[in-house]
Amino acid sequence: MVKRRADRKWKLSSLFWRYLVTTGVMVAVCTVLWWMAVVACISVGFVYQASVGARNLQKTQERLLRQEEFQGEEIPFYYDWCLVSEDGTVLQAKMSEKVLKQAKNVEGDDGMRVFPYSKFFHAVSLKDGSRCVLAYDYSMPYVNPMLQRYLPDFQVTATLLLFVCWGVIAVTRTRKYTKILQNDTRAVRAAADLVASQRLDEPILPEGKIRELNDALETIEKLRVELAASLSRQWAMEEQRNQELASLSHDLKTPLTVIRGNAELLEEEELASWQEASVEAILRGTLHLEEYVQELRSVAAGSGESSEEFRKLPLKKFIERCREDGEALCAAKKISLKVCMGEEVARQSEEGFSFRGQEMQLLRAIRNLIDNAVRFSKEGQEIVLEVQEKDGRLIFTVQDSGPGFCQEALAKAGKIFYTSEKHRASEGHLGLGLYFCCKVAARHGGGLKIENGEKGGRATLVIVYGFLGDLG
């Protein structure tokens, strides 16, 4: 039975009503006990009833009328009084100035509001023609005049004590139920933090007292289990992909070495000019492939970072290299490449300006953008490579005349292994091009942006001039 009570779960509404009812009952009990204490004080003769002044008014009046000469000390202490002559002169008084101003003009019965009690007046005409005005209220005076003089007002003190008891009850009950809510919400927050920090191997136990928050804990536990299973599958797929990449990069080394060796042998022979150009294209392509293989090995190893160092790169020479690589990529489909430079870039290029960067990585990123534009352009069309400078950033924009990017490509391009042409994965296009461009741009303090222009797709690679070094 005790265990069932400890394991009991409350609805949030039930907890609220439980709080209201228990607090109300305790307040009611406290009030009854307070009232019994006040009655006990009256019963034992510690204080008078609040109506003592009104109840004894007639007796006090009779006592005053029997006096041959006015004697104020015979008036009970719980009355304030003043003696007024026939012409309205105050002869004697035992009351405050504020009350006296109204009391001296009273000839019968009257009253006035004075904090914390209303004052009531009763005038008694004496034998000598003067009148005594008695003032009383409905407070509870102490029986002992000394206590009445030195202690605070009993009724005000008792009322404040009641309010303090109510406050203590409200605070203690609120703290108790607030602690229940805090414990359960803290458990929900801890569970959410557990999932957010990917500590998915720790089970979440629904041990709260509030049913709704317990349900939330159970939901988070289900989410944890499903997320852990999903991540396990994803990690397994990632590991498999990395193994495939490592195997692919290893298998590519041998044929690349054979191709480069034979091309170098051909380069030593006497060839026609068109043959020399073909051999140079083979060697250049082989070099690029070796760079790709090295990058694949980095991705497979999980680092994704290039070991190439940052160094000073002449702007004019770099743009010329971009032009040569771009024209070589465009030649197969007889696509023309137009290189445009902004005014500031053209000026800096002629003045021998240099910037810091990883030359091979940047060239490869721009080649990827141009290669992507070539794949989606038709034979005979034009690709534009525009180089601009803005706010200390170098901006390379590749514009093609193709159909542009689809919505999925705009959202996912730059993610590893994503390709908008699913059938091209079987042709060796694994969706690494734009991913590498993003990584290179990030290493140079910039970024990659793809969008659809007026004529087709547009890819923009941004790098920071002085990133990881001073300007040249």
Q: Is there a single domain that holds both residue 215 and residue 334? A: no
The yes-or-no verdict on residue 174 having pLDDT over 90 is yes
Is 102 within 8 Å of 88 (Cβ atoms)? Answer: no
Domain enclosing residue 441, as ranges: 312-464
CB 173 within 8 A of CB 22: yes
pLDDT, residue 445, reads: 87
pLDDT at 25: 96
Is pLDDT larger for residue 230 or for residue 130? 130
Alpha-carbon distance of 134 to 109, in angstroms, equals 10
The fraction of the chain above a pLDDT of 70, given in percent, is 85
Q: Please check whether residue 159 lies inside any domain of the structure.
A: no
- Say if CB 86 and CB 173 are below 8 A apart: no
**216 lies in some domain:** yes
Beta carbons within 8 Å of 23's beta carbon, 6+ residues apart: 169, 170, 173, 174
Contact (Cβ atoms closer than 8 angstroms) between residue 222 and residue 270 = no
Least confident of 22-36, 75-89, 114-128: 114-128
Q: Are residues 445 and 358 in the same domain?
A: yes
234 within a domain of the structure (yes/no): yes
Contact 450, 457 (CB under 8 A): yes
- 342 has pLDDT over 80: yes
pLDDT score at 472: 41
Report the pLDDT averaged over residues 411-419.
55
Length of the chain: 472
Overall number of domains in the chain: 3
458 and 316, same structural domain? yes
Boundary of a domain, candidates 304, 331, 364: 304
337 and 458 in a single domain? The answer is: yes
Kindly state the DSSP code that residue 105 receives in the 8-state scheme. T
Euclidean distance between the first and the last CA atom of the chain, given in angstroms as a whole number = 82
Average pLDDT in the 451-460 region? 82
Do 334 and 453 lie in one domain? The reply is yes
| Interacting residues of 438 by C-beta distance below 8 A, sequence separation 6+ | 414, 447, 448
Q: What does the pLDDT read at residue 469?
A: 36
The pLDDT value given to residue 295: 66
The pLDDT of residue 255: 79
Q: Is the predicted pLDDT of residue 297 greater than 70, yes or no?
A: no
Report if residue 143 sits inside a domain.
no
pLDDT tens for 225-280 read 888 888 888 878 877 777 766 676 666 767 777 777 777 777 777 777 777 777 77
User: Angle CA(238)–CA(414)–CA(401) in degrees, nearest 5?
Assistant: 140
pLDDT band (50, 70, 90) for residue 430: very low
pLDDT band (50, 70, 90) for residue 411: low
- CB-CB neighbours of 446 under 10 Å: 20
Whether 440 has a pLDDT exceeding 60, the answer reads: yes
**Of 120, 138, 156, at which residue does a domain stop?**
138
What is the mean pLDDT of the segment spanning 53-67? 92
Answer yes or no: is 43 within a domain.
Answer: no
pLDDT at 4: 44
Confidence of residue 426 (pLDDT cuts 50, 70, 90): very low
Q: Quick one: DSSP state of residue 67?
A: -
In a domain, 165, yes or no: no
Which CATH number covers residue 412?
3.30.565.10
**How buried is residue 13: exposed, middle or buried, by Cβ count under 10 Å (0-12/13-18/19+)?**
exposed
pLDDT at position 416 over 70: no
| pLDDT value for 302 | 57
Q: Please, are residues 43 and 189 in contact by the beta-carbon 8 Å criterion?
A: no
If asked whether residues 282 and 321 sit together in one domain, one would say: no
pLDDT attached to residue 114 = 75
Q: Residue 198 carries which DSSP code?
A: T
pLDDT at 167: 96
What is the tens place of the pLDDT at every residue in 195-233?
888 777 777 776 777 888 888 888 888 888 888 888 888
Kindly report which listed range (27-31, 291-295, 311-315, 380-384) carries the lowest average pLDDT score: 291-295
| Torsion 336-337-342-346 (CA) sign | negative
Torsion sign (Cα): 213, 215, 219, 224 = positive
Please state, in angstroms and rounded to a whole number, the distance separating the CA atoms of residues 82 and 89.
Answer: 10
Residues 300 and 316 in one domain: no
- On whether residue 35 sits in a domain, the answer given is no
- Average pLDDT for the chain: 82
Q: Are residues 318 and 460 in the same domain?
A: yes
